[in-house]
Amino acid sequence: MAQPDREGNVGKQTQTVVIVGGAIIGSFAAYYLRKLGFDGQISVIEADPSYARSSTALSAASIRTQFGCAINIHMSLFAADLFRNITREFGADADIGFVEQGYLIIASEAQKAERQAAVRMQNAEGASIAALSPDEARARFPWLNASDIGLATYGLKNEGWFDAWSLLQLVRRAARDLGVNYVTGHVDAIEVQGTKATGVRMDDGTHVPADWCINAAGPMAARIVRDIVPGFPVEPRKRTVFSLKTPLSGTGFPMLFDDSGAWIRPEGQGFIAGIAPAADQDPDATGDFEPAHDLLEDVLWPALAHRVPVLEDLRVERSWAGHYEVNFLDHNAIIGPHDEIGNLVFMNGFSGHGVMHAPAAGRGIAEHILTGQYRTLDLSPLGFERIRAGRKLHETVVY
């Protein structure tokens, strides 16, 4: 394992890394590994190089600092700085369309005290969140029905949305330019002998050896470690996005999250919106990409029309469904090495936060492989040890 020199620079090495999953999370790990000095071979194995059903490509691609866990706030702050200065990282022509327009999160009267405490914590950790009374919220956002809210919290900076596809293409291209090898193939399993991962087994039975194996397989993460970690708590959950035309202008409109669970934000000349199904109607969605049209009529539209009355008049233009890789233990990412198999590394279970947290996760994993420690952000609270112990680190602000 390479160690830093006296100036703190990362040394070089000639080991090999295999990353299972070539979307945003795996690509940021590959990019930062090479950028920080890893000289060995890096192979990223991606089952679908078109990314047609990738969680990255189908994401609503937003970023927020309004979380219940401090580590998630700091990962978002890292990404927001990158997004705001994207040309500094990827060149003068880099553009991901970052709109820094904030999240407006509605809390009921019953949630008010809890959310006020959350805002104090978030701001203490470096976020910039305003707590608005119903009257203040209505004054700032005149289209809002604030008659039954207790509090509205609004991100003044470091929150908004962006083009996830453009970000993926930028980091993937940068990784390839640095010599990362992208391979098309289906990984069946990560293989282990004793306390060491030896590589991956492909679905045709061939073995690809590696000194480091990184699981960045998104919603399919549990399948490739099924023999190593039975019951790994990551499953795909379907989330439907509806593209809408409405009489309302998107100018100045934030990413709105209602206390009903409904969300809506501007996109192009219209809006996109969605809502998660009830927990008892949210099964493992392996292979299911059919949009849940019933959610619009039965749940989403009434909730939107209540919170923003002008949305009573809207038209659906199209819809699509993608997958969250949900960590059903605690809705937090699992990042870092296995506690007994040190060269098996997890980057899984982001529970809808993967696109915004991929840069911080990728840099952290690169630092850990190169130096044996996290340097930029301490990601150890998200480590695998808590999974084995069943020790929950609950993320309470989940949509």
Are 225 and 339 in a shared domain?
yes
- Strand (E) or helix (H) holding 366: helix 354-371
What is the predicted pLDDT for the residue at 1?
Answer: 41
Are 246 and 148 in a shared domain?
yes
CA distance 89 to 118: 32
Are 206 and 246 in a shared domain?
no
Domain range for residue 275? 100-157+235-327
For the chain, the distance separating the N- and C-terminal CA atoms, rounded to the nearest angstrom, is: 39
What is the predicted pLDDT for the residue at 13?
Answer: 58
The answer to the question of residue 82 being in a domain is no
The answer to the question of residue 76 being in a domain is no
Identity at 302, one-letter amino acid code: P
Are 173 and 227 in a shared domain?
yes
Q: In the chain, how long is the greatest CA-to-CA distance? A: 64
Are 370 and 256 in a shared domain?
no
The answer to the question of residue 184 being in a domain is yes
Boundary-marking domain end, from 327, 342, 370:
327
Boundary-marking domain end, from 327, 344, 372:
327
Residue 107 belongs to domain with CATH number? 3.30.9.10
Please check whether residue 153 is in contact with residue 107, taking contact to mean a CB–CB distance below 8 angstroms.
yes
- Strand (E) or helix (H) holding 131: strand 129-132
The answer to the question of residue 123 being in a domain is yes
Are 153 and 27 in a shared domain?
no
The answer to the question of residue 22 being in a domain is yes
- Give strand ranges (E) for 216-361: 234-245, 255-257, 263-267, 270-274, 315-327, 334-337, 344-348
Residue 193 belongs to domain with CATH number? 3.50.50.60
Please check whether residue 290 is in contact with residue 319, taking contact to mean a CB–CB distance below 8 angstroms.
no
CA distance 139 to 144: 9
Residue with the two structure tokens 């509090």: 151
Tell me the pTM: 0.95
The answer to the question of residue 6 being in a domain is no
Per the structure, the count of domains in the chain is: 2
Listing DSSP states for 283-298 in one string gives ---TT-----HHHIII
Are 125 and 189 in a shared domain?
no
The answer to the question of residue 115 being in a domain is yes
Are 152 and 254 in a shared domain?
yes
CA distance 81 to 168: 17
Are 304 and 355 in a shared domain?
no
Are 199 and 336 in a shared domain?
yes
The answer to the question of residue 85 being in a domain is no
Are 176 and 314 in a shared domain?
no
Q: pLDDT digit of tens for each residue in the chain (399 aa)?
A: 444 443 344 444 579 999 999 999 999 999 999 999 999 999 999 999 999 999 999 999 999 999 999 999 999 999 999 999 999 999 999 999 999 999 999 999 999 999 999 999 999 999 999 999 999 999 999 999 999 999 999 999 999 999 999 999 999 999 999 999 999 999 999 999 999 999 999 999 999 999 999 999 999 999 999 999 999 999 999 999 999 999 999 999 999 999 999 999 999 999 999 999 999 999 999 999 999 999 999 999 999 999 999 999 999 999 999 999 999 999 999 999 999 999 999 999 999 999 999 999 999 999 999 999 999 999 999 999 999 999 999 999 987
Are 201 and 107 in a shared domain?
no
User: Parallel, antiparallel, or unpaired: how do β-strands 17-20 and 62-63 relate?
Assistant: unpaired
